[in-house]
Amino acid sequence: MTFDPQIPEELASYSHDDDGTAASKQFLIREGLLVRPLGSALSQYRSGLDGVANSRASSWNRAPIDRMANLNIEPGDQPLEQMIGHIEHGILMSTNRSWSIDDARNKFQFGCEWGQLIENGELRGVVKNPNYRGISAQFWRNLSAVGDRSTFQVLGTPNCGKGEPNQVIRVGHASPACVFSKIDVFGGDA
Amino acid sequence: MTRTADQAQPFKALVQWLKDALRETEQFTLSYAAEASEFIRFNHAKVRQAGQVQQASVHFKLIDNGRHADLSITLSNDPEVDRQRLADGLQQLRETLPLLPADPYLMLNHTHWQSHHVQDQPLPGSEQVVEEIGRAGAGLDLVGIYAAGPISRGFASSGGAFGWHQANSFNFDFSLFHENGEAVKASYAGHAWDSQAFALRFQQAREQLEFLGRPLRTLAPGQYRAYLAPAALEEIIGMLAWGGFSAQSIASKHSPLQKLYAGDAALNPLVSLDEQVSGSLSPAFSDEGYPRSDLSLIAAGSANAQLINSRSAAEYGLTTNGAGSGEYPSALNMAAGQLSQQEILKQLGTGLYISNLWYLNYSDLPAARLTGMTRFATFWVENGEIQAPVSTMRFDDSVYSLLGSQLEALTEQRELLLSASTYGQRQTASMHLPGALVSRLTLTL
């Protein structure tokens, strides 16, 4: 997982953050281990840890604070067809429409507008409003495949809120398709 | 910090200039928003960051032969500079209009309504506030933000309508953290800072903090009796406000309350919800230029009025009732029940006392099913007595259950909860809500 401010079409790409620190691509998690947290120059000074150039203000009327910027998952080595082909029973989640997570970023739930059932390695029909929930550490330990660059999409949101006084800001999330096992999935009437 | 000058004069001057500059077939609407805000952020009950923001802007719509275009202009508070910016904006809109088609859903209000509200209650000096907060929070892990100052909103049209709303307010939104990571969240907000009232509010939070020191109770997913304090209920009602009462959302089937408005579902007869504009903190006029009136949105569990702005009125053949462009309520008032404060724990018996909920979103919007977290000061209660704080849990349940079949009682005492939102600008929305006792809340994770 990387902090990457250098993908031109991604929402939070920039050369310097709002403290004036030069921004460059950095691995945050490499091969499953946290190697560097998010944290701008001031946070690096206070914590004694390495960080990234992520001090950002939403506008002239708000002070810069540590924010996400472009937070990406690096591509793996499998095309989508191969990943689906290895799934006996699952859901292809698409079009996220709902998100909720606790303040420790631990217990999460996401809802999608649309999905497809996967049976014996093949896509089978539409699934409406599939939701999934879990606990972050367990969820990421259940990551079983990462899609290659052909599955990689640059996404993000223009209105991520945080801070006091409140600030709404653009964040980018680029990611390949990923496969997770043992996920609690439910639908409209669960 | 006290600012009581008549801030309407600069806006009136811009309106007059625009009226004089208008060509015969042109019309305009001009809405105004300004604030002079003090923001003081606290960590460990000490000032972590302090700043002031003074800002003013107008949103300018030019109309000509059914075509219209808008732009926003940041004002400088220098009359000549602002007049020039408005002139530049007028020129830009005049160049834009011929490029646009006529808007079939444009419905202007041609009445000459007038509205004027100025509340200039003096606010306390920041030194006093910092001193009182520091004294109350000495030795505690207090984090929070104090936001205060005057807020102004205005509206004027070429047709002669004029509205002005100006009010001083403060909002101290804070949390007290226990060393085990659990926290109590509370706020003290209003127009008149009362040291005794603040001390009382702080003491209530401090008492809850002491309960958080007990060993955490971890609950299994399942169904539990629960009491939702007004601040917790605010999160649920706030989600319903997100399109729930909007005529556009209801007509396009995007409202979480579409089943209620279609008559296919009902809430508990205890539930009555009004948009109570009169006497509220929000302006008595909408950003698109219609006077707002009090509305009954839900009466005894059944759908009543929708929030209808002029575009929805034109598109769906309805009559506008002064809703703003987003058709959000901004002064919700929920009817009280009969459960007294002293009886809450006793009536709850065994279950959850939930002070706040956090990060809600829809699991199933058409079914009004919500998910979210307990975060601050949630307690396990047995036989009417608080036993232990509860570790953070996720709930997932339908509004038709929580405020419908499973609602047992609402409290007779309500809380006025002022919005602490400061996205872009300080907000004027509020909710006046009771607490809710429910016989079943579903915890999932």
CATH code of the domain containing B88 = 3.30.2290.10
Segment B228-240 shows an average pLDDT of 97
Q: How far is the C-alpha of A100 from the C-alpha of A105, rounded, in Å?
A: 9
Q: Is A106 close to B358, i.e. CB distance below 8 A?
A: no
Verify that B265 and B393 share a domain, yes or no: yes
Q: Which residue has the tokens 């403290």?
A: A19
Q: What is the pLDDT of residue A95?
A: 87
In a domain, B2, yes or no: no
In a domain, B210, yes or no: no
Contacts B41 to A, Cβ<8 Å: 164
Verify that B178 and B226 share a domain, yes or no: no
Q: Is A166 close to B423, i.e. CB distance below 8 A?
A: yes
Reported residue count of chain A is 190
| A contact test, residue of B371, B392, B398 with most A CBs within 10 A | B371
Contacts A188 to B, Cβ<8 Å: 364, 367, 369
Q: What is the pLDDT of residue B2?
A: 39
Contacts A106 to B, Cβ<8 Å: 392
Between strands B430-433 and B331-334, the pairing is parallel
In a domain, B280, yes or no: yes
Query: Which letter does DSSP use for residue B377 in this model?
Result: S
CA trace torsion A50, A52, A53, A56 (10° rounding): -110
- Choosing from B205, B239, B268, the residue where a domain stops is B205
Better-predicted residue by pLDDT, A93 or A95: A93
Verify that B105 and B30 share a domain, yes or no: yes
Q: Is B145 close to A165, i.e. CB distance below 8 A?
A: yes
Q: Which residue has the tokens 């639908």?
A: A187
Verify that B237 and B154 share a domain, yes or no: no
- Choosing from B147, B177, B205, the residue where a domain stops is B205
Q: Across all residues in chain B, what is the average pLDDT?
A: 95
Reported residue count of chain B is 445
Contacts A187 to B, Cβ<8 Å: 364
Q: What is the pLDDT of residue B4?
A: 43
- Contact residues for B207 (Cβ-Cβ < 8 A; gap 6+): none
Verify that B169 and B226 share a domain, yes or no: no
User: What is the phi/psi pair of residue B84, to 5°?
Assistant: -65, -40
In a domain, B313, yes or no: yes
Verify that B177 and B147 share a domain, yes or no: yes
Integer angstrom CA distances of residue B262 from B245, B312, B359: 12, 17, 28
pLDDT digits (tens, 9 = 90+) for B195-210: 999 999 999 999 999 9
pLDDT digits (tens, 9 = 90+) for B105-116: 999 999 999 999
| Strand partners of residue A118 | A90, A123
Verify that B188 and B233 share a domain, yes or no: no
Residue pair B361/B240 in contact (Cβ under 8 Å)? The answer is no
- Contact residues for A138 (Cβ-Cβ < 8 A; gap 6+): none
Q: What is the number of alpha carbons within 13 Å of residue A4 lying toward its C-beta? A: 20
Q: Is A102 close to B424, i.e. CB distance below 8 A?
A: no
In a domain, B231, yes or no: yes
B52-89 per-residue burial string, b: 16 or more CB within 10 A, e: under 16: ebebbebbbbbbbeebbbeeebebeeeeeebbebbeeb
Contacts B147 to A, Cβ<8 Å: 165
Other C-beta atoms lying within 10 Å of the C-beta of residue A9: 9
SS3 letters for A18-70? CCCCECCCEECEECCEECCCCCCHHHHHHHCCCCCCCEECCCCCCCCEECCCE
User: Is the bond preceding A165 in cis, omega lying within 30 degrees of 0?
Assistant: yes
Chain B residue with CA closest to A58: the answer is B424
Segment B4-15 shows an average pLDDT of 84
Q: What is the pTM of this model?
A: 0.94
Q: Is A100 close to B372, i.e. CB distance below 8 A?
A: yes
**Mapping DSSP to helix (H, G, I), strand (E, B) and coil, where does residue A15 land?**
coil
pLDDT digits (tens, 9 = 90+) for B133-150: 999 999 999 999 999 999
- Choosing from B156, B175, B205, the residue where a domain stops is B205
pLDDT digits (tens, 9 = 90+) for B322-376: 999 999 999 999 999 999 999 999 999 999 999 999 999 999 999 999 999 998 8
Contacts B369 to A, Cβ<8 Å: 188
Burial class, B264, CB count within 10 angstroms (exposed 0-12 / middle 13-18 / buried 19+): exposed
Chain A residues 104-133 within an 8 A CB cutoff of chain B: 104, 106-107, 109, 111, 129, 131, 133
Query: Which letter does DSSP use for residue A173 in this model?
Result: E
Q: What is the pLDDT of residue A188?
A: 57
Q: How far is the C-alpha of B39 from the C-alpha of B10, rounded, in Å?
A: 25
Q: Which band of pLDDT confidence, cut at 50, 70 and 90, is reported for residue B225?
A: very high
- ipTM for this prediction: 0.92
pLDDT digits (tens, 9 = 90+) for B80-90: 999 999 999 99
Indicate the residue type of A167: Q
Verify that B184 and B298 share a domain, yes or no: no
Q: Which residue has the tokens 């275009």?
A: B69
Q: Is B363 close to A168, i.e. CB distance below 8 A?
A: no
Q: How many domains does chain B have?
A: 2
In a domain, B66, yes or no: yes
Verify that B420 and B304 share a domain, yes or no: yes
- Contact residues for B137 (Cβ-Cβ < 8 A; gap 6+): B42, B45, B176, B202
In this prediction, what percent of chain A has a pLDDT beyond 90? 94
**CB proximity A159 to B under 8 Å:** no
Q: Is the pLDDT of residue A189 over 80?
A: no
pLDDT digits (tens, 9 = 90+) for B24-59: 999 999 999 999 999 999 999 999 999 999 999 999
* Domain, as residue range, for B400: 222-443
Verify that B77 and B48 share a domain, yes or no: yes
Contacts B145 to A, Cβ<8 Å: 164-165
Q: How far is the C-alpha of B49 from the C-alpha of B234, rounded, in Å?
A: 28
- Ranking A99-108, B14-23, B429-438 by mean pLDDT, the lowest is A99-108
Strands of B23-121, DSSP E: 26-43, 46-64, 67-74, 114-119
Q: Which band of pLDDT confidence, cut at 50, 70 and 90, is reported for residue B421?
A: very high
In a domain, B276, yes or no: yes
Residue pair A183/A176 in contact (Cβ under 8 Å)? The answer is no
Residue A116's H or E segment, with its range, is strand A107-119
Q: Is B360 close to A100, i.e. CB distance below 8 A?
A: yes
Q: Is the pLDDT of residue B5 over 80?
A: no
**Mapping DSSP to helix (H, G, I), strand (E, B) and coil, where does residue A83 land?**
helix
Verify that B181 and B238 share a domain, yes or no: no
Give the nearest partner residue to A161 out of B144, B363, B423, using CB atoms: B423
Q: What is the pLDDT of residue B304?
A: 98
Q: Is B423 close to A63, i.e. CB distance below 8 A?
A: no
Q: How far is the C-alpha of B413 from the C-alpha of B29, rounded, in Å?
A: 41
Verify that B104 and B239 share a domain, yes or no: no
- Contact residues for A20 (Cβ-Cβ < 8 A; gap 6+): none
Q: Is the pLDDT of residue B1 over 70?
A: no
In a domain, B214, yes or no: no
Q: Is B422 close to A166, i.e. CB distance below 8 A?
A: yes
Q: Which residues of B touch A (CB under 8 A)?
A: 37, 39, 41, 49, 51, 53, 55, 144-145, 147, 173, 358-365, 367, 369, 371-373, 375, 392-394, 396, 421-424, 444-445
Q: Is the pLDDT of residue A190 over 70?
A: no
Q: Is A107 close to B396, i.e. CB distance below 8 A?
A: no
Q: How far is the C-alpha of B340 from the C-alpha of B347, rounded, in Å?
A: 10
